[in-house]
Structure 1
Amino acid sequence: MKIVMVTGGQSCGKSTFAQKTAENISGKRVYVATAQAFDQEMEIKIQKHIEEREDKFDTIEEPLELDQAILKTKEYDVVLLDCLTMWTSNIILNNENNEEAAVEKYLNNFLKSIEKLKNHSNIQKLIIVTNEVGWGIIPGNKLSRIFARLLGTVNKKIAKISDEVYMMVSGIEVKIK
């Protein structure tokens, strides 16, 4: 199983690039979605992603337990996980005042599940989408600083186990690993 991480800023083409990469692999595809629609804007964004996938992917929706969701994908040829940013946010919002320990626990469980799949699945590629959020000014509130720091930790650990890492810049992919 080859692990591909796609990162970049907001609305820079990460999901589009990841989806096209997944569609270039023949066989069964699954989309693991972590987003939750808490407002109308997010509902529209989720609906847009669903429409873009058409009928080319099965979908597993899981906002928190990625370790369990990813184990359900072992019969697929390609897995597209979108995205670690929303997943990290979900963990933080569900574990107020215990964010760091919660992110560490969920991330370690997820990494163990990926390891289990490496030699015991049909998966050719696991494509993981995330965001780079730490390139701007230091956030002005504590929760935003916690989020930026913890997402950075998640991204570093996923990049380390990835075979390829792409940074999206203005809709252009740049291979960095």
Structure 2
Amino acid sequence: MGFQALFIGGIKSGKSKNAETYTLKFAKQKPLYLATTEFFDDEMHERVQKHKDQRADKFETLEESLNLDNALQKQNKTVLVECVSMWINNMLYHNKTLEEMMTQLENISKQENDVIFVINDVSNSVISENKLVRKFVDINGIISQYIAQHSKEVFHVTAGISVKIK
């Protein structure tokens, strides 16, 4: 099957808003917003609330921080997965491996849903001295490449502007 689209960009680049607009235009019925964030502090609650306010009631919302493939298996609609980087963070926090992450993505690619993904582009930075940060950046890059390869369309977002690169 493959994936429909990937929106990749830096933090606060406008990728979420662009992905939401794309999803709403693409979907034939009210789409599902699959939220992946686990709440670690008050600042994360504020960020999530801004996203909720932004999308209003245009999406159905499902929160799932780890088992994306299982959550999507029960759906029969267009799905926006926001955000893959947070999902990777959660998976690492819960001691999951890259192989477990890739298995979930492979399972999702075999499902009937049209899936739009949002992921942070963390590749334009210096190499961190922190081992866990390096692992996160490496896995985020591997997963973004996999999703891009299997997506029909890929958009890079900077300063709120979405540019189609595939």
Kindly state the Cα deviation for residue 113 of structure 1 after the two structures are TM-superposed: 2.8
Match of 1:23 in 2: 24
Structure 2 residue runs of 5 or longer lacking an equivalent are: none
Structure 1 counterpart of 2:136, from 147, 164, 170: 147
**TM-score normalised by the chain length of structure 2:** 0.93
- Whether the aligned pair in 2 keeps the contact of 1:5 and 1:130 (CA below 8 Å) is yes
Match of 2:121 in 1: 132
Identity over aligned pairs, percent: 37
Kindly state the Cα deviation for residue 107 of structure 1 after the two structures are TM-superposed: 2.1
- Whether the aligned pair in 2 keeps the contact of 1:9 and 1:169 (CA below 8 Å) is yes
Structure 1 counterpart of 2:54, from 14, 33, 52: 52
Match of 2:11 in 1: 10
Opposite residue 105 of structure 2, the aligned amino acid is F
- Whether the aligned pair in 2 keeps the contact of 1:34 and 1:62 (CA below 8 Å) is yes
- Whether the aligned pair in 2 keeps the contact of 1:70 and 1:114 (CA below 8 Å) is no
Structure 2 counterpart of 1:105, from 69, 80, 100: 100
RMSD value over aligned CA atoms? 1.4
- Whether the aligned pair in 2 keeps the contact of 1:82 and 1:130 (CA below 8 Å) is yes
Structure 1 residue runs of 5 or longer lacking an equivalent are: 118-122
Match of 1:120 in 2: none
CA deviation string 1:25-59 (max 9, x = no partner) = 34121100101111111000111111111111111
Question: For the residues of structure 2 that align with 1:130 and 1:16, how far apart are their CA atoms?
Answer: 13
Instruction: Rate the CA distance shift 1:113–1:126 in 2: closer, same or farther, 3 A.
Output: closer
Aligned length: 164
**TM-score normalised by the chain length of structure 1:** 0.87
Question: For the residues of structure 2 that align with 1:36 and 1:48, how far apart are their CA atoms?
Answer: 15
